[in-house]
Amino acid sequence: MADIFPHTQTKEPADSRDLSEPLIDHAEGQLFLNETFKIIVEDVLRKGTDVNEKVCEWKEPEELALLLDLELRSTGEPQQRLLQRVKDVAKYSVKTSHPRFLNQQYAGVDYHSLSGRFLSEALNTNLHTYEVAPVFVLMENEVLRGLRHLVGWTEGDGLFWPGGSASNMCAINLARYQLFPEVKSQGLFGLPRMTIFTSPESHYSVKKGAAYLGIGTDNVIMVKVDDRGRMIPGDLDEKITLAKSQGTVPLLVSCTSGTTVQGAFDPLDQIADICEKHQIWMHVDAAWGGSVLFSKQHRHLMKGVDRANSVAWNPHKMLVAGLQCSVLLLKDTTNLLRQCHTTNATYLFQQDKFYDVSLDIGDKSVQCGRKVDCLKLWLMWKAVGTDGLAQRIDKAFLHVGYLVEQMKKREGFHLLDEPEFVNVCFWYIPSSLRGKERDADYQDRLAKVAPVIKERMVKRGTMMVGYQPLGNRVNFFRVIVFSPLVSQKDMDFFLNEIERLGNDL
């Protein structure tokens, strides 16, 4: 690297007693930012998305700690050393935008979204009042309106939260507040036991939320699912009736649109009937699957979503908006969100301001400081339009179709089920195990295959894909295909690589 910082040593510490000059040197700072930007473009965005480069550079924790020299010391470091650190962080981090990072529910990169993210960071806005966040108060509102429109609501409310887990929890809190507004002031002590209904394949945040909110994980009642992981409405009805007969108060049904592992869509319309019958808050955790609402072709998977009370949706997942970008959408028009959460702090939400204080939305949240998470989605949406986002969703389904078709043509790939969504769950059966399905130790041996393949791929750095057991099904791979950076050749590579890494097992 050319020596752009001729004075590599940190400067003499300025005299603290001198108040005439600020502590920050803008010129030096901007130079550093420029150099970092170049590293980001080259190492993270170019190399990090190049299929000829590694997805990850595996190091054992001890070795990595040594390489990174993380310790925080008394004195500062020269700029060149710091730039090397920036390079190292980029080098040893997993390239989550890489077309062969198929490990999680986020992947790929959208440059408009990323531009919005950089701008949000630079502006460092706290989204609580119109006074300090005029642009973003209005923008968040508009993005929420756009998302609600896709749900099928012309009115309603909502807010961005730091993740789908937080959105799911908030839904529980709102359902509780609507039934028992006194919980806000008096707590749950002395109240009847409350119950929440969800499927065992729902996201673990429903349980975490129940624990956090003082409801308890035992009061999360698991409704049976069919083979494909979809909630069985008849069983829901029975479980609600049973819970009522046991003297508990059913609070909320949390359905899932796009379960984490199998990508299943609970039958919302039928569940809505049951929620209506029992008058229970219907929440849809569409953190993962919500983005199908953009697609004319696939939005039927969420038919009935407009009948829900609340919908959680993470544009940071399938829409590639970047972490964190998560909303809770509400059908409510009675200002429930604000009533449930307000404490009317006078230092922030003064009522004698010179503008319409209903724009001071911060008190709707249980957060105080709140990052701006709407700009990245807004800018990306403006850039490609609703149609462009729909196209990405449709293409993801096509990719999955192709992948499944190819798997069927190859020996050794065994699907759990025909996928409903972009999660493809499969076992890879090495040749030594083929035809041995009836052996007593078959399942045990099969369970050990995925972890070994995973270890090999991570150590080679060629790709990343996750595995897990589920119910009585031993370890299987879940490959998720939706990044706008992937193409057919990445899927072919994926299949070949699994074979190459696993065939000798």
- Nearest residue (CB) to a second copy, 10 versus 432: 10
Rounded distance, CA 489 to CA 59, Å?
28
Rounded distance, CA 191 to CA 66, Å?
54
Using CB under 8 A, pick the residue from 303, 371, 414, 460 that binds a second copy: 371
Sign of the C-alpha dihedral computed for residues 85, 87, 91 and 95 taken in this order: positive
Rounded distance, CA 222 to CA 403, Å?
32
Binding mask 44-73 for a second copy (x = CB under 8 A): xxx--x------x-xxxx--xx--x-xxxx
Does 483 engage in binding with ligand PLP (CB under 6 A)? Answer: no
Question: Which partner from the list a second copy, ligand PLP, none does 285 bind, CB cut-off 5 to 8 Å by kind?
Answer: ligand PLP
Query: Judged by CB under 6 A, which stretch of 81-89, 115-123, 176-184, 280-288 contacts ligand PLP?
Result: 280-288
Binding mask 201-240 for a second copy (x = CB under 8 A): --xxx-xxxxxxxxxxxxx---------------------
Rounded distance, CA 355 to CA 351, Å?
9
The conformation of residue 443, written as its DSSP 8-state character, comes to H
Question: Which of positions 359-388 make contact with ligand PLP (CB under 6 A)?
Answer: 367-369
Does 151 engage in binding with a second copy (CB under 8 A)? Answer: no
Using CB under 6 A, pick the residue from 174, 236, 271, 287 that binds ligand PLP: 287
Does 455 engage in binding with a second copy (CB under 8 A)? Answer: yes
* Closest distance of CB 96 from ligand PLP, Å: 14
Does 479 engage in binding with a second copy (CB under 8 A)? Answer: no
Question: Which partner from the list a second copy, ligand PLP, none does 181 bind, CB cut-off 5 to 8 Å by kind?
Answer: none
Q: Regarding beta strands 157-161 and 326-330, do their DSSP bridges make them parallel or antiparallel, or are they unpaired?
A: antiparallel
Other CB atoms within 10 A of residue 328 CB: 25
Q: What is the 3-state secondary structure (H, E, C) of 3-35?
A: CCCCCCCCCCCCCCCCCCCCCCCHHHHHHHHHH
Q: Regarding beta strands 473-480 and 423-428, do their DSSP bridges make them parallel or antiparallel, or are they unpaired?
A: antiparallel
Binding mask 256-295 for a second copy (x = CB under 8 A): ----xx----------------------------------
Question: What does residue 18 show for φ and ψ, rounded to 5 degrees?
Answer: -85, 110
Residue 384's SS3 state is: helix
Does 229 engage in binding with ligand PLP (CB under 6 A)? Answer: no
Using CB under 8 A, pick the residue from 75, 154, 245, 279 that binds a second copy: 75
> What does 295-321 look like in DSSP terms, one character per residue?
-TTTGGGGTTGGG-SEEEE-TTSTT--
Does 164 engage in binding with ligand PLP (CB under 6 A)? Answer: yes
- Nearest residue (CB) to ligand PLP, 219 versus 259: 259
Question: Which of positions 254-273 make contact with ligand PLP (CB under 6 A)?
Answer: 256, 258-260
Is residue 443 within 8 A of residue 474, CB to CB? The reply is yes
Size of the site for ligand PLP (CB under 6 A): 18
Does 409 engage in binding with a second copy (CB under 8 A)? Answer: no
Is residue 232 within 8 A of residue 226, CB to CB? The reply is yes
Question: Which partner from the list ligand PLP, a second copy, none does 288 bind, CB cut-off 5 to 8 Å by kind?
Answer: ligand PLP
Q: Which of 285, 289, 287 is nearest to 309 (CA)?
A: 285
Does 285 engage in binding with ligand PLP (CB under 6 A)? Answer: yes
Query: Judged by CB under 8 A, which stretch of 83-91, 222-230, 263-271, 497-505 contacts a second copy?
Result: 83-91
Is residue 174 within 8 A of residue 166, CB to CB? The reply is no
Question: Which of positions 82-121 make contact with ligand PLP (CB under 6 A)?
Answer: 105
Query: Judged by CB under 8 A, which stretch of 151-159, 198-206, 226-234, 495-503 contacts a second copy?
Result: 198-206
- Nearest residue (CB) to ligand PLP, 223 versus 501: 223
Long-range contacts (CB closer than 8 Å, 24 or more residues apart) made by 116-122? 116/375, 116/376, 116/377, 116/378, 116/379, 116/380, 117/322, 117/375, 117/376, 119/375, 120/371, 120/372, 120/373, 120/375, 120/376
Does 468 engage in binding with ligand PLP (CB under 6 A)? Answer: no
Query: Judged by CB under 8 A, which stretch of 122-130, 152-160, 300-308, 436-444 contacts a second copy?
Result: 122-130
- Nearest residue (CB) to ligand PLP, 9 versus 344: 344
* Closest distance of CB 370 from ligand PLP, Å: 8
User: What phi-psi label fits residue 284: left (phi over 0), alpha (psi between -120 and 50 degrees) or beta?
Assistant: beta
Rounded distance, CA 208 to CA 477, Å?
25
* Closest distance of CB 331 from a second copy, Å: 20
Structure tokens that stand for 303 in this block = 């038919």
Give the C-alpha distances (Å, rounded to integers) separating 361 from 129, 152, 224: 6, 23, 39
Using CB under 8 A, pick the residue from 17, 52, 409, 411 that binds a second copy: 17
Residues of the shown chain interacting with ligand PLP in the complex, contacts defined by CB under 6 A: 105, 163-165, 203, 205, 256, 258-260, 285, 287-288, 314, 326, 367-369
